[in-house]
């Protein structure tokens, strides 16, 4: 037993000596071979999306649409028209649009025209105001820069996948109101859901600021009277929010 203990002691002692001797060994490299700075690889051709089914670059996109001005207080808000987009690449595009308004008054405008407005005290107002005598929206035209910030896919069922894009719009145009032209500037968002590589449904929301006629600036518009000339109206800064829905074709 003592023999084995002595043998183990000798073995550990020799191992200690070998370790201590190796501790003094230093490995040296020439300074010119040592790294002095770090770099990352640069890939010239970046591919952000693989297997992109809907390719927009160099194509036109035709959109047939209709919608309404959600903020319209007196006139019929429904409008319809179309737009044409040219895609310089998969991100940048120019978007041209035009819509026509149905015309006429909405329920609030009719109530004012007939003098059937409910006042704050619950009584019916007797003073009629005919907003149809004032210049109102007949057409809207605009040109936008369109930036597609997002492209992706969504699966509504296990067997059907829709491609989708989300774009921002920025531009300007004008409302046509009889013989008046009201310059406008607007921003918006556009969402498209593609059934295949060329057909999609499109949803747009536009926020518009325009310099339009103040229909209260000429006094009382009495039903059955001659409309005042458009030159008599003062102008004021006004705002619209418009929702549009359409069918889009990538050509």
CATH of the domain at 246: 2.40.160.20
pLDDT of residue 173: 96
192 is a domain residue: yes
Confirm whether pTM is higher than 0.85: no
Q: How many CA atoms lie within 13 A of 120 on its CB side?
A: 0
Total tally of structural domains belonging to the chain: 1
Q: Write out the two tokens for 44.
A: 């010239």
Question: Do the domain assignments include residue 31?
Answer: no
Domain presence at residue 33: no
Query: Do the domain assignments include residue 23?
Result: no
The pLDDT of residue 108: 86
Parent domain of 178: 55-250
In-domain check, residue 199: yes
> Would you say residue 200 lies in a domain?
yes
Per-residue pLDDT of the chain (251 residues; tens, 9 = 90+): 555 555 555 555 555 555 554 445 556 666 665 556 555 666 565 555 567 788 899 999 999 999 999 999 999 999 999 999 999 999 999 999 999 999 999 988 888 888 776 666 666 666 678 899 999 999 999 999 999 999 888 877 777 788 899 999 999 999 999 889 999 999 999 999 999 889 999 999 999 999 999 998 988 888 888 899 988 999 999 999 999 999 999 99
Domain-located, residue 7: no
In sequence order, the 6+-apart residues with CB closer than 8 A to the CB of 71 are: 239, 240, 241
Quick count: other Cβ atoms within 10 Å of Cβ 58?
Answer: 10
> Rounded to the nearest 10 degrees, how much is the dihedral formed by the CA atoms of 16, 20, 21, 23?
140
Return d(Cα 176, Cα 182) in angstroms, integer: 7
Looking at residue 224, its pLDDT comes to: 83
pLDDT at 115: 72
């Amino acid at each position: 037993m003592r023999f084995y203990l002595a043998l183990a002691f000798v073995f550990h002692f020799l191992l200690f000596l070998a370790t201590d001797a190796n501790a003094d060994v230093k490995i040296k490299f020439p300074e010119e071979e040592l790294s002095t700075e770090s770099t990352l690889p640069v890939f010239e051709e970046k591919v952000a999306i693989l297997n992109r089914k809907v390719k927009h670059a160099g194509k036109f996109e035709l959109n047939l649409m209709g919608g309404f001005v959600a903020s319209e207080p007196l006139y019929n808000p429904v409008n319809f028209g179309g737009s044409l987009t040219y895609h310089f690449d998969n991100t940048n595009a120019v978007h041209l649009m035009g819509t026509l308004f149905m015309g006429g008054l909405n329920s609030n405008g009719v109530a004012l025209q007939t003098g059937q407005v409910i006042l704050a005290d619950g009584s019916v107002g007797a003073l009629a105001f005919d907003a149809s005598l004032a210049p109102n929206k007949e057409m809207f035209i605009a040109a936008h820069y369109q930036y597609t910030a997002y492209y992706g896919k969504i699966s509504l069922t296990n067997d059907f996948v829709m491609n989708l894009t989300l774009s921002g719009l920025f531009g300007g145009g004008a409302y046509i109101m009889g013989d008046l032209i009201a310059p406008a500037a607007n921003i918006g968002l556009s969402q498209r859901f593609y059934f295949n590589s060329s057909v999609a449904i499109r949803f747009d929301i536009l926020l518009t600021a325009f310099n339009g006629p103040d229909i209260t600036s000429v006094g009382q518009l009495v039903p059955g009277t001659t409309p005042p000339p458009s030159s008599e109206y003062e102008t004021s800064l006004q705002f619209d929010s418009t929702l549009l829905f359409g069918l889009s074709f990538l050509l």
